[in-house]
Amino acid sequence: MSSLTEKDRPIVQLLLNSGTCPRCILRFCCVGSQMLYRCPYKDLMKNLREFLKNNKEKEDTVCFDVVDPPCKRIRLEQMEEGPDDLNHNRALQQIPTVNNENTAIENSALKVCNVCLGILQEFCEIDFVKKVCQKVNSSDYQFTSFVFSVSLPPQLSVRERAAWLLVKQEMGKLGLSLAKEDIVQLKEAYKWIIHPQLSEELGVPADGKSLFEVSVVFAHPETDEECRFLATACPDCFKPAKNKQSVFTRMAVIKALEKIKEEDFLMHFPCPPSSPMNLSVALEIQCNNGAVFVAGRYNKYSRNLPQTPWIIDGERKLESSVEELISEHLMAEFKADSFNFSSSGREDVDVRTLGNGRPFAIELVNPRRIHFTAEEMKGLQQTINNSSDKIQVRDLQLVTRSAIGRMKEGEEEKTKTYSALIWTDKAIQREDIAFLDDIKELKLDQKTPLRVLHRRPLAVRCRIIHTMKSEYIDEHHFRLHLKTQAGTYIKEFVHGDFGRTKPNIGCLLNRTADILELDVESVDVDWPPTLEN
Amino acid sequence: RICVITLAEAHPLLQNGKTITSINYQISANCSRLQNKVSGKSKRGAQFLTELAPLCRISSSDGEEYTIYSCIRGRLIEVNENILSNPALLQEKPSTEGYIAVILPKFEESKSVTQGLLTQKEYEEVLLKRLNSSS
């Protein structure tokens, strides 16, 4: 909350001489006024030089201040500076007649700051802001706020450390100390400057919790090797990770900087840091929207449709899939990069899902469009239903990420009801199957079915058949309705799976039985909420 | 591809008049098929079998002892303990409840394993030949 005072003078001089930009100088002098950082670069430079020229003839506390109109983009935070300061400043401010020395220096080409490598210089200018906004607008996202995230090259931390050591040393001479925590962080200062500008160009506020992220990656190839000395000084901080290109990540560098001793640091790294030839570059400007979730229930009417695409060795074995038929239209409407489909359990390719259908949720990754009214969702539902007779969806709605948990709990805990068409080898009469209706809470021991054993661990599952209802058809056929615990293998309960599911229909009827058809009649999960039609 | 090992149709044990007295999964001092333990999807810890690895030894009431071999390479997943308690099952339902063992060949060897086997038709031809040559 301070401006520059007398005691800052030697620091300012030192840093300016070593090639540090005005905003970094303000940072190292712990100036906390956001407004100051937002002032145009040229004005800051000019006023710093003014400040330096003002010698002890003036009052002890010299206020470094910048008057309007130079700062056009300042918001009401200006309240920090009282009217007194303004008057005081006018007296101090020199009218644009500068002496020769100053002109020469000011007119020289912009020196790239040796601490921020240009981040607080070039990349605070309106040109860059416009470049970012151009990328945002051309990417065609729907958003109501944004969060701006910045990735800085690791060598910035090294240079920051060198500058701090330099300043600390100088202040030590004055009998003063400077804690690392008091220095204004580069990222923070950068955001002070750029947020209002971005906000104005995009027309929406900056919000840390926003789902829409604009991210920029900065790099400075010229100084990339500067972190290398840390590897010899602190080798255990830099373990090669398989999926990272460079071992010198920001985190690793910061850790090493914490460990390294001051003397060692100064031995290997110039203090003050050298002036680079080039500015940093903005490698990537990317936009990303947080995922949206669409939930509903699906019915499956085909006995030839897998849940997920069935591809072996690059060859598709069966046409389409439940998830593709549903997601295709959502992807198009939401303009997402990709999707993740999950459901409360699933059925085999040859099993139909009837009744209210099975709950599902689709995560749409990086959607361009995120706002849909209930009407629009209904329209989407209709589109999906019109596009295929193999599946139908209902209760299509937007949900939150946390809602997925409810769906998954349904998979493990809730009951399901089925209808099975069963064949027997030896003839049956009505009386032979009637007793099935009276069996309640039948306990099964099911070893992992042979048909999935190649991809599941071998185990024994205890499952319960709650109720059964039989429907006699003829001497070799009957239909069985069952209500079972989640995770019960119905087909194996019918044919016995080589005796590995006990008891089974075959042994209950003392015959060999097999299943001809299976339908899911209901999935007893009351999520997602039923929508009125 | 999961494989289920069962007695072939023409096996002596499945011919009339044979009664099984015992089935023994202990095939050597150190190795009992009953102690086979597998864990996880990749069935770690399974006993690895080659074609000539014995699965079990079956004794019949007429004093004969038959060794049942794996006949294929792969990991032993499980042996059928139901036939230990009910040996008749092996003869009554040799191709279903009376199976001997379940084996999972290596994924890469899946094709070669299948190709090394006879189809039902080829097997019947072998049986016919046997019948003709002995008569």
Q: In which residue ranges of chain A is CATH 3.30.70.3190 found? A: 416-523
Chain A's closest residue to B46, CA to CA, is A458
Closest CA to A323 of A303, A343, A302, A337: A343
Spell out which residues of chain A touch residue B96, defining contact as CB-CB under 8 Å: 496, 498-499, 512
What pLDDT does residue A88 have? Answer: 41
Q: Quick check: B84 contacting A, CB < 8 Å? A: no
Reply yes or no on whether the pLDDT at B114 is more than 90.
no
CB contact under 8 A, A454 and B2: yes
* Closest in A458, A498, A512 to B77, CB measured: A458
Q: How confident is the model at residue A11 (pLDDT cuts 50, 70, 90)?
A: confident
Reply yes or no on whether the pLDDT at A101 is more than 50.
no
Reply yes or no on whether the pLDDT at A77 is more than 50.
no
Chain A's closest residue to B41, CA to CA, is A457
Q: In which residue ranges of chain A is CATH 3.30.70.2510 found? A: 292-411
d(C-alpha A81, C-alpha A284), whole Å: 38
Reply yes or no on whether the pLDDT at B107 is more than 60.
yes
The catalytic residues of A are 348
What pairing do the DSSP bridges indicate for beta strands A513-523 and A351-365?
Answer: parallel
Fold topology of A416-523: Alpha-Beta Plaits (3.30.70)
Stretch B98-123: mean pLDDT: 89
Report how many helices (DSSP H) and strands (DSSP E) chain A contains, helices first. 18, 15
Q: Quick check: B102 contacting A, CB < 8 Å? A: yes
Spell out which residues of chain B touch residue A458, defining contact as CB-CB under 8 Å: 38, 43, 77-78
Contact assessment for residue A49 and residue A70, using Cβ atoms and an 8 Å cutoff: no
* Closest in B4, B39, B97 to A457, CB measured: B39
Contacts 24+ apart (CB under 8 A), A176-184: A176/A7, A178/A28, A178/A30, A182/A30, A183/A27, A183/A28, A183/A30, A184/A26, A184/A27, A184/A30, A184/A31, A184/A32
Range of the structural domain that residue B20 is part of: 3-133
Interface of A with B (CB under 8 A): 447, 450-451, 453-458, 496, 498-499, 512
CB contact under 8 A, A499 and B82: yes
CB contact under 8 A, B41 and A457: yes
Reply yes or no on whether the pLDDT at B37 is more than 60.
yes
Tell me the pLDDT of chain A averaged across its residues.
85
Spell out which residues of chain B touch residue A456, defining contact as CB-CB under 8 Å: 41
Closest CA to B75 of B109, B25, B99, B98: B109
Distance from CA of B82 to the nearest CA of A (A): 8
What pLDDT does residue A55 have? Answer: 60
Contact assessment for residue A58 and residue A197, using Cβ atoms and an 8 Å cutoff: no
Reply yes or no on whether the pLDDT at B43 is more than 90.
no
Within A372-448, strands assigned E span 391-399, 416-424, 442-447
Stretch A432-444: mean pLDDT: 95
Distance from CA of A420 to the nearest CA of B (A): 21
Distance from CA of B41 to the nearest CA of A (A): 4
Distance from CA of B94 to the nearest CA of A (A): 10
What pLDDT does residue A405 have? Answer: 83
3-state secondary structure A218-279: EECHHHHHHHHHHHHHCHHHCCCCCCCCCCCCHHHHHHHHHHCCHHHHHHHCCCCCCCCCCC
Contact assessment for residue A280 and residue A118, using Cβ atoms and an 8 Å cutoff: yes
* Closest in B2, B41, B89 to A450, CB measured: B2
Spell out which residues of chain A touch residue B82, defining contact as CB-CB under 8 Å: 499
What pLDDT does residue B135 have? Answer: 59
Segment A186-196, tens digit of pLDDT: 999 999 999 99
Structural domains counted in chain B: 1
Reply yes or no on whether the pLDDT at A46 is more than 60.
yes
CB contact under 8 A, B78 and A447: yes
* Closest in B78, B89, B96 to A458, CB measured: B78
| CATH, residue B36 | 2.40.50.100
What pLDDT does residue A80 have? Answer: 42
Q: Quick check: B41 contacting A, CB < 8 Å? A: yes
**How many residues are given for chain B?**
135
CA angle (B59, B60, B63) in 5-degree steps: 90
Spell out which residues of chain B touch residue A503, defining contact as CB-CB under 8 Å: none
* Lowest mean per-residue pLDDT among A72-76, A313-317, B38-42: A72-76
Segment A381-402, tens digit of pLDDT: 999 999 999 999 999 999 998 8
Amino acid at position A296, single letter: G
Between residues A390 and A44, which one has the greater pLDDT? Answer: A390
Q: Quick check: B2 contacting A, CB < 8 Å? A: yes
Q: Report ipTM for this prediction.
A: 0.89
What pLDDT does residue A473 have? Answer: 95
Distance from CA of B125 to the nearest CA of A (A): 27
Distance from CA of B102 to the nearest CA of A (A): 9
* Closest in B1, B80, B89 to A454, CB measured: B1
| CATH code, residues A292-411 | 3.30.70.2510
What pairing do the DSSP bridges indicate for beta strands A477-484 and A501-502?
Answer: unpaired
The residues, ordered by sequence, that sit 6+ positions from A382 with a Cβ below 8 Å of its Cβ are: none
Report how many helices (DSSP H) and strands (DSSP E) chain B contains, helices first. 4, 7
What pLDDT does residue A64 have? Answer: 58
**How many residues are given for chain A?**
533
* Closest in B2, B80, B96 to A453, CB measured: B2
CB contact under 8 A, B39 and A456: no
Q: How confident is the model at residue A364 (pLDDT cuts 50, 70, 90)?
A: very high
CB-CB neighbours of A213 under 10 Å? 16
Radius of gyration of chain A (CA): 35
Which pair of structure tokens corresponds to residue B46?
A: 């399974």
Closest CA to A127 of A40, A65, A204: A40
Distances (CA, A) of B66 to B15, B17, B22: 13, 15, 11
Chain A's closest residue to B3, CA to CA, is A450
- Please give the full DSSP string across A13-80, using - where no structure is assigned: HHHHHHT--HHHHHHHTT---HHHHHS-HHHHHHHHHHHHH--TTS-SS------SSS-TT--GGGGG
